[in-house]
Amino acid sequence: MKGLIIKDICLLKSQKNTMPVFLLLMLWFVLMDNISFVFIYMGMMAALLACGTLSYDEFDRGYSFLFTLPFERREYVRSKFLLGFALFAAGALAACLLVWAAGLIKGNPMPAEDAALSIFSAFLTCALILSVMIPMRIRFGSEQGRIVVFAVFAGLAALVFAAVKLLPPSFTEGLYSFSQANGLLVIIFGLVVPIAVIILIGYALSIKIINKKEF
């Protein structure tokens, strides 16, 4: 798997020109006091960069040769998730430093609890994107996969929108008060468990698809 990770890092290196733009955007969000979005944006970018390497692998029928190299198919899936998480970790570190520096300069540092919650939310976003995009990109390829991924996320958004509209206001208010009173429980059951479930489903689905795939 080391070879796969090195390959992906080399491929990402060819995208190094986009990094300053990415950092400038994060800085802009910090200056605009949109701290939570800095983390969410970073989580999204980490997942999208990792999934972007699938397109590079597929480009010009590259999959055929790639899969003659000595690795197990499941390692390919694992390497993509690991790359996503590694990029997230690097991005989270950069975002924390940026937010911490901005807090020092402005004199209103972000509370550690808020930062942790933001990082968890960003990780949930990252895991969700990885878990949907990796299996769909492997199954349908970059072009068709893009449409399928869009459809899946549109479906999820519609589901959330419908839930918010259909559930009585007392329910959402109750949920808010509960989360205020039981912060740790909410983090565990509201974020950690869904993240773990989403990753497991996405990972298992990706392995099933890659094992069936012919090149």
Partner 1 sequence: MLKLNGIRKSYPGFSLDCSLEVLPGRITGLIGANGAGKSTTFKAILGLIRPDGGEIELFGRPGTSLTRQDRRRIGSVLSDSGFSGYLTVNDVIRILGAFYPDFSEDSFRRGCGELSIPLNKQIKDFSTGMKAKLKVLAAINHGARLLILDEPTAGLDVLARQQITDLLRGFMEEDEERSILVSSHISNDLEQLCDDFYMIDCGSIVFHEDTDRLLSDYAFIKTERAALSTLDRSHILRVMDEPYGCRLLTDQRQYYIDNYPRLVVERASMDEFIMIMLKGEKL
Residues near 189 by Cβ (< 8 Å), separated by ≥ 6?
none
What minimum distance in Å lies between the beta carbon of 63 and partner 1? Answer: 7
Report 71-90 residues binding partner 1 (CB under 8 A).
Answer: 71-72
What minimum distance in Å lies between the beta carbon of 109 and partner 1? Answer: 41
17 binds partner 1 (CB under 8 A): no
16 binds partner 1 (CB under 8 A): no
H helix runs in 35-111, sequence order: 35-58, 62-66, 73-106
Alpha carbons 206 and 86: distance in angstroms, whole number: 19
Distances (CA, A) of 32 to 105, 115, 131: 14, 17, 31
Report 46-65 residues binding partner 1 (CB under 8 A).
Answer: 56-57, 59-65
Q: Are 129 and 44 in contact (CB under 8 A)?
A: yes
22 binds partner 1 (CB under 8 A): no
| 111 secondary structure, DSSP code | P
| Binding segment (CB under 8 A) for partner 1, from list 68-76, 109-117, 128-136, 187-195 | 68-76
Burial zone of 127 (CB within 10 Å; 0-12 exposed, 13-18 middle, 19+ buried):
buried
What minimum distance in Å lies between the beta carbon of 25 and partner 1? Answer: 24
| Binding segment (CB under 8 A) for partner 1, from list 8-16, 30-38, 122-130, 164-172 | 8-16
What minimum distance in Å lies between the beta carbon of 4 and partner 1? Answer: 8
User: If we measure between CA atoms, which residue out of 73, 82, 87, 83 comes closest to residue 206?
Assistant: 73
| 109 secondary structure, DSSP code | P
Residue linked to tokens 């798997």 = 1
Residue with Cβ nearer partner 1 (3 or 155): 3
Residue with Cβ nearer partner 1 (106 or 212): 212
Residue with Cβ nearer partner 1 (115 or 207): 207
Q: Which residues bind partner 1 (CB under 8 A)?
A: 2-3, 6-7, 10-11, 13-14, 56-57, 59-72, 214-215
